[in-house]
Amino acid sequence: MEMLIIAVTGLLVIAAGNQLAPRVGVASPLLLLALGAGVGFLPFVSAIELAPEIILEVVLPPLLFSTAVSMPVMDFRRELRAVAALAVGLVAACAVGIGLVVHALMPVISLPWAIALGAVLSPTDAVAVTIARGSGVSSRIITLLEGEGLFNDATALILLSSATAAGVAHSADALEPGAVVSGFLTSLALALAIGWVVGAAAVQIRARITNPTADTVVSFTIPFLASLPTDHLGGSGLVAAVVAGLIISSRGPRLLPPAHRLTAQENWRTIELVLEGGVFLVMGLQAYGIVQDVIDDGFGLRAAVLLAAGAWALTVLARMAFVAPLLAWLRHVGRRRGRHLEEERQRLARFETRLARVGDVGDELLAKHGLSEQQWRQAVVGWRQRLERVQHRQRRRGADLDYFTSEPLGLREGAVIVWAGMRGAVTLAAAQTLPLSTPGRPFLLLVALLVASGSLITQGLTLGGVIRLVRPRMASPAVDDERRRLAQQLGDVVARRQPDALTPAEAHALAIETIHVQRHALLDARDEGLFSSNSLEYALERLDAEEILLTTADLDACWDEPESA
């Protein structure tokens, strides 16, 4: 009964925090963190300790899966290089850099355990995305932050596992770069394979489910169907859950009925609110127990605070030192892509010119090549198919180049990306996976808690001000001209499919079929990158709403038939 009362109270507090946050101008997770810490230090509240497996195996897979499902796959594909650099390169550099500095300042903490602490402090928290999106920054910044948050947890946990093994064995052999890279690639390969299979199979199975509620129940199991076997085989379950979500985000609109997707989306938003809010609430509640353990073990709170402040400063400096050259590299890649695209366009123009000259072929030319007329025409058909594939690839590359050109990442955008790299729940959960035999374990836990909570409060409360100060490129709503072009394209699809005379039943069936054709046309445009993700999402939502209305009207007619009979 006591646990039930606590759970119900926690849900009400999460809901209240979500409603109160916009009124006070503070992100809901920060309110819940402060509230949890305040309650945890009350004299009549016992120390609370949450098993780290609950966060790593129960909370994070569905949270990351939900984010991946809602991410525009077109934008994620375009930013894959930058996301990989942030999620892998920055995490590794940050972990090693912090580890070396901590070991130099406090030799009592051996290098493996210092690097383990660095790995704990490396992954960023997704709360920054909520704050940045609410401030209206460009979609490129949001995509980078979301993509980084989806994958950097896995890198940090793999580094933590290697450092922990080295610390337990009192040997640095497990930290050899070759061994760490090999373990990371193996873990990543397993996660990619299992996540891909689970995501593809889940879409096919859900497409055969007729009840939206049952479909939502099945969707709740997908992140665990991906993560659990991957963890068991030694891979990254978090990455597997993310990959499954990205596959569903890409294929779901083509195969899943709109009512299923809408129902699942709303329910997943509820789950996401509860899980994220619960993590930050419990994170605050744990503060008292961790502080008490440090005092009991004889470690100084002052040393923990100073080390945490230094470690937090290192995370910001390391991020700054990494992001600046990353943006310069991305600009270089963009210019190189432009040159390659222009060269490819010239080659394609020459190929089109040669192909246009292919017409009626004389017997002498056919005899020269030893081909029959039918073989020659089949060859021409093959060339035209090749031309269409190259044209499709060129349109997509051109659209990608327009995307990078219209939303460049400069120093102003880089400042936002740097300051948005705050730490959070994953840091505390990863710290709690340290073995009980870890030297100074409570001290390391307190440092992790202080860095996580301190960065959330410091950076979280000031991120909006930093955005207003540096004035980065802001997100512009979908341009009216683009929406008109998109509407015209869909209107052309309707015009081509409009017969002269139809019965009401035939008109109803044709309307639903036309929506399906329009949706596939939109998704083809998405795959080529011809429109912005905002415009495509707006158009897809309109089509989904129209199909749901038509389907509902069809069901109402079925219910009315017995009465009229």
Residue 276 has what pLDDT? 84
Structure tokens at 124: 């960023």
Residue 545 has what pLDDT? 85
CA distance 448 to 243: 28
Structure tokens at 318: 């390391």
Burial status of residue 165 (CB atoms within 10 A of its CB: 0-12, 13-18, 19 or more): middle
CA distance 133 to 131: 6
Structure tokens at 276: 């994220």
Q: What is the mean pLDDT of each run of 10 residues along the chain (565 residues)?
A: 81 89 80 85 74 81 89 87 92 92 89 91 84 81 89 86 82 70 86 95 94 93 95 90 93 90 90 87 83 75 89 94 92 81 73 62 54 65 72 77 82 92 84 82 88 88 89 71 68 59 71 83 81 81 84 58 47
Structure tokens at 422: 């705050």
DSSP-derived secondary structure for 331-388: HHHHHHHHHHHHHHHHHHHHHHHHHHT--S--HHHHHHHT--HHHHHHHHHHHHHHHH
Structure tokens at 369: 């090549």
SS3 137: strand
SS3 79: coil
Residue 564 has what pLDDT? 44
Residue 167 has what pLDDT? 84
Structure tokens at 376: 């020659």
Residue 492 has what pLDDT? 64
CA distance 270 to 63: 11
Q: Quote the distance between the C-alpha of residue 170 and its chain's center.
A: 37
What is the residue type of 472? P
CA distance 501 to 125: 58
Q: Considering only CA atoms, which of 448, 432, 344 is closest in space to residue 394?
A: 344
CA distance 416 to 419: 5
